[in-house]
Chains A and B, each alone.
Chain A
Amino acid sequence: MSHTDHILVVDDDRDIRQMVGDYLRKNGLRVSLAADGREMKAALDTSDVDLVVLDVMMPGEDGLTLCRNLRAGKHRAVPVVLLTARDDETDRIIGLEMGADDYVTKPFSSRELLARINAVIRRTRMLPPNLQVSEAARLIAFGQWRLDTSSRHLLDEDGTAYPLSGAEFRLLRVFVDHPQRVLSRDQLLNLTQGRDAELFDRSIDLLVSRLRQRLGDAAKEQAYIKTVRSEGYVFCQPVVLVGDPA
């Protein structure tokens, strides 16, 4: 690939900014640095940025606000990886609701950050979501289920929550982002790869059968996920974005 991905690192701490920048450059990426929201906007306006690494805890406009503004502005398509200070479910949820694509918890390792950056870029480039808006939608309805994208569980018609494992959620998310479209095993594998710490040793076939079980989708009927011989899988239910849970 002749294209070198351009990463914009936004962090108010000069040392962290520079060290992250050095590491990413060493690994073949083009890097710009910004100390605050103003510098970030300037960098976005003057050059093509492929991904923003954004620190949440910053004086003045914090990362979450910047992320939300970014999603509302003309650079809304640029993926964002947040650097959060707190490893907490609610922070993660808020971050993802603000439109971030992924997050890394401080103190993070540069290797982990690089893996996240690569995964997000791969995901957005390889298979742009059909439903761009689904990033912002909290609830996605299909068949008799609703998927809560921030709490990562399925809701049945009575509102009972059925949590999904990380891998199942990622797989289902790829499916509902690309309904009625045949996805190959390789594509699915790439798109559902988790955090680098995860030894993802399950084959896609096994994961699909697990997901079918969670959905109550009998292997014979295949009401949700159909197997396409020698090609892969297709999600065959129409998908509706619902917004906030009632």
Chain B
Amino acid sequence: MSTLAAPRRQWHWQWLPRTLGMRLLLILAAGLLLAHALSFALLFYERAMATRGMMLAGMEQDVPLSVALLERLSPAERAEWLPQLQRRTYRYLLRPAQAGTPLASDRARQVTALIDRSLGHRYALRPRAVSARPERYEVELTLGDGQPLTLEVTPSLLPIARWLPWVLAAQVALLLACVWLAVRLATRPLVQLADAAERLDPAGASVAMPQDGPLEVAQAARALNQLQARVSAHVSERMQILAAISHDLQTPITRLRLRIEAMDEGDVQARLLADVGQLGQLVREGIQYARSANVTLGPAVRLDLPAFLGSLVDDYQDMGKPVQLGAVAPVALQTHPQVLRRIVQNLIDNALAYAGNAEASVRVDSAGMVCIDVLDNGPGIPEASLDAVLQPFHRLESSRGRDTGGTGLGLAIAQQLTQALGGRLRLANRDGGGLRATVELHAANAVRPLAG
């Protein structure tokens, strides 16, 4: 299976996260942040424009007034008045402009032109840029009595309120939270749907999906539930037929067997007995298989696995069967002993039928699963057939199943029952030859018994 090459991905967006939720989150968050940033940029631009308009309008009325006032005052009084004439973006200085450079920005030239216009072109203006960043320029003119007056302009936006960045950050956070919520809302039912579909058990033991939530999801859930109901009805009908046939066969087979046993002993009788024995086993396992799909579990108990495997192996040894107990980890598991017993028995019976020997052991794997292994030294199973042998009535072509009396149901029953326990049955060929059948059970309820 693992040798199958993964299909080459066609698209190039490899950097995108794999889950739908993350993708949606990424797209929505990026879009919203961008839109947010854009609207704030616009807002700031508009604010800058408005501030400048205000400044210019103010200057247009204010500058001629101030200049006229200073003209009237005696040179001694002028200095006292200067602080009162000062505005947020410009102030008056009684000195010539600094050397500086010619004006660089259009805005500065506009402002200078405005001042010139407002003063009715009566003064010769000498504008000089003093500093580029922060922008500052000085416009010098000479008052009527020859004293130089310099208008120092430092254009600046209205200062931003201190709380504004925080509000902004809060807004963005709120936005992201909403996006996350929306994405979750949209994808969670999908995840639940997928989970439920995964758990869907054709035998009908699985729980129906909740049919609430958003309309589309509820619809999908309903469809899935209906599908499951149909499938499980179909399966259980098949199982019931199998069980009924198998069950009704038991009485005639019993009669047949008793009749054959009443015959004179001999070769023919022995063969007939062997046949009827095989027939009986087939019927028995047919019933077991039919019931394994819908097994009633009863209450679970905490089962000591070393004692469990030990007693099972002892039973086989008491019957003279070559079954050994391998390494046993001291694990206890909340489970159904009768069902687990049937599973392990079937695996051991299979090993005995195909390999003539078996070894049972229990371990806890790296993922924390409790694994019960049944090993044999037989021919194993071709890799391609590992899955197929778990199907009912499947037998390997080259099998000696006929001689050994296998019905081809033992592993299928074990598989069904393992699923009923919420576990998994895995078959694998061992490196040195032979088969390893592993019952993997969730260790969530595994407990380590006290040592000793």
The answer to whether A binds B is yes
The interface size bin for chain B is 35 or more
> A167 with B314: in contact, given A85-B247, A160-B332, A201-B320 (CB under 8 Å)?
yes
Docked Cα-Cα span, A159 to B33, in Å, equals: 60
Docked Cα-Cα span, A153 to B298, in Å, equals: 16
The reply on B296 being an interface residue by CB < 8 A is yes
A106→B318 contact, CB < 8 A:
no
Residues in chain B near residue A231, CB distance under 8 A: none
Contacting A at CB under 8 A, from B262-319, are 262, 273, 276, 280, 283-284, 287-288, 291, 296, 298, 301-304, 307-308, 310-312, 314-315, 318-319
Question: Per-residue CB proximity of B254-266 to A under 8 Å, as 1/0?
Answer: 1111110110000
Binds A, one of B37-45, B94-102, B336-344, B355-363: B336-344
- How many pairs, one residue from A and one from B, have CB atoms within 8 Å of each other in the complex? 118
The reply on A48 being an interface residue by CB < 8 A is no
The reply on A151 being an interface residue by CB < 8 A is yes
Closest Cβ of chain B to A43, distance in Å, is: 21
The reply on A221 being an interface residue by CB < 8 A is no
Residues in chain B near residue A151, CB distance under 8 A: 301, 337-338
Contacting B at CB under 8 A, from A69-98, are 85-90, 93
B319→A197 contact, CB < 8 A:
yes
The reply on A59 being an interface residue by CB < 8 A is no
Closest Cβ of chain B to A156, distance in Å, is: 8
The interface size bin for chain A is 35 or more
The reply on B250 being an interface residue by CB < 8 A is yes
B319→A90 contact, CB < 8 A:
no
A110→B291 contact, CB < 8 A:
no
The reply on A219 being an interface residue by CB < 8 A is no
The reply on B28 being an interface residue by CB < 8 A is no
CB-based nearest B residue for A153:
B337
CB-based nearest B residue for A154:
B307
Residues in chain A near residue B318, CB distance under 8 A: 165-167, 194, 198-202
Residues in chain A near residue B312, CB distance under 8 A: 163, 165
> A19 with B314: in contact, given A85-B247, A89-B338, A110-B261 (CB under 8 Å)?
no
Docked Cα-Cα span, A197 to B277, in Å, equals: 14
Residues in chain B near residue A214, CB distance under 8 A: 307
Docked Cα-Cα span, A151 to B288, in Å, equals: 19
Docked Cα-Cα span, A198 to B332, in Å, equals: 29
Residues in chain B near residue A90, CB distance under 8 A: 296, 298, 338
CB-based nearest A residue for B315:
A165
Question: Per-residue CB proximity of B226-251 to A under 8 Å, as 1/0?
Answer: 00000000000000000000010011
A and B contact pairs by CB, cutoff 8 A, 18 listed: A13-B255, A19-B255, A19-B258, A23-B258, A23-B261, A90-B296, A107-B257, A108-B254, A151-B337, A159-B301, A159-B302, A160-B302, A161-B302, A161-B307, A166-B318, A167-B318, A201-B318, A202-B318
Q: Which 10 pairs of residues, A with B, have the shortest CB-CB distance?
A: A165-B314, A162-B307, A19-B258, A89-B338, A107-B254, A165-B311, A163-B311, A107-B253, A107-B280, A199-B320
